[in-house]
Structure 1
Amino acid sequence: MKRIFCPKCDNQLTFDETKYPKGKVLVFVCPQCTHQFKIRLGKKIVKTETGEEKEVNEADFSCGYITVIENNFGYKQDLPLVEGDNVIGRRNKDTDGVHVAIITSDPSMGRKHCVIHVKPDGNGHYIYTLRDFPSLTGTFVRNVLVGKKEQVVIEDEAIVTIGATTFILHAK
């Protein structure tokens, strides 16, 4: 089952995406506010470091991903990363510029909390660097606070805490 959100009222809707082919446009009517909106399955446009737009599959985990650990504020989520900057923060219908939006009610997580930069190293692997956006509550790697203007290299299975939410990096 796939979860989507109404762009007007942020109401959550679910549907079975396996019943439709990739690239298909679906139209939904929100039962809460009656707003009508469309989504396209399986296609997502992202901007690369050079500013070019690139079409990727919605569930493209080829550059690695993060797993958000379930807690009182939200459920477990696997969120893909792309090459370049991945701004991570709390999902909000008014938030622009967040590439990895965590669905949570955690009030201590910022809308733009931290950034994971993904860069290929030439050997088929990726280098992951983490920095605070800056946020009010800070970003922690294995319970060590990342400095305000500091960038740290993180590796596979690094444990990162933002606010009261923790996620684990899974490298390619």
Structure 2
Amino acid sequence: MPADNTNRSALSELMKVSDQRLKGKVIAQYAAVCVRPNPEAANDIQVLLITSRGSGRWVIPKGCRIPRKKPHEVARQEAWEEAGVRGQVKKKPVGHYTYVKKLKGPEAAPALVQVHLLNVSELERDYPEMGQRQLQWFSPEEAACAVDEPELKTLLRGIRKLYKKA
């Protein structure tokens, strides 16, 4: 099964940097899980995924701290820069996940990502990273299967419930 191999691969990558995580050497990032009502199914939602610029993996928009911006504001900013998303972002995070961030050369570090729900109202045609990434809408289950990170898979599988609470 491809999903099992992907999970093992993501977990083995995390194991390689576990000593850094235990020592508190973790990169903090903030992300937006971008959702909209499903235009083809009443009372359902879709999740926007984008490709990473380096590996082309499916991910959600995310980035590091920006001075004088709160975490949810960083998530909203990254969603706009990376995908042209405009909408309402929730201040309270809906979850967290960990992944291995590739640095220069062979270096890597664990990254802890705080995730905020963003209700998409508009996709702009012109945004800073236009043409550098692919964008695609998925059902929550399809999105969970498309991403590599096990904790993000779990978060996406439960996004309908989090969306209804928000």
Say whether the fold is shared (TM-score over 0.5): no
TM-score, L = length of structure 1 = 0.27
- The structure with the largest alpha-carbon Rg is 1
TM-score, L = length of structure 2 = 0.28
Q: Which one has the bigger strand percentage?
A: 1
Q: Which one has the bigger helix percentage?
A: 2
Between 1 and 2, higher relative CO (CA 8 Å, sep ≥ 6) is seen in 2
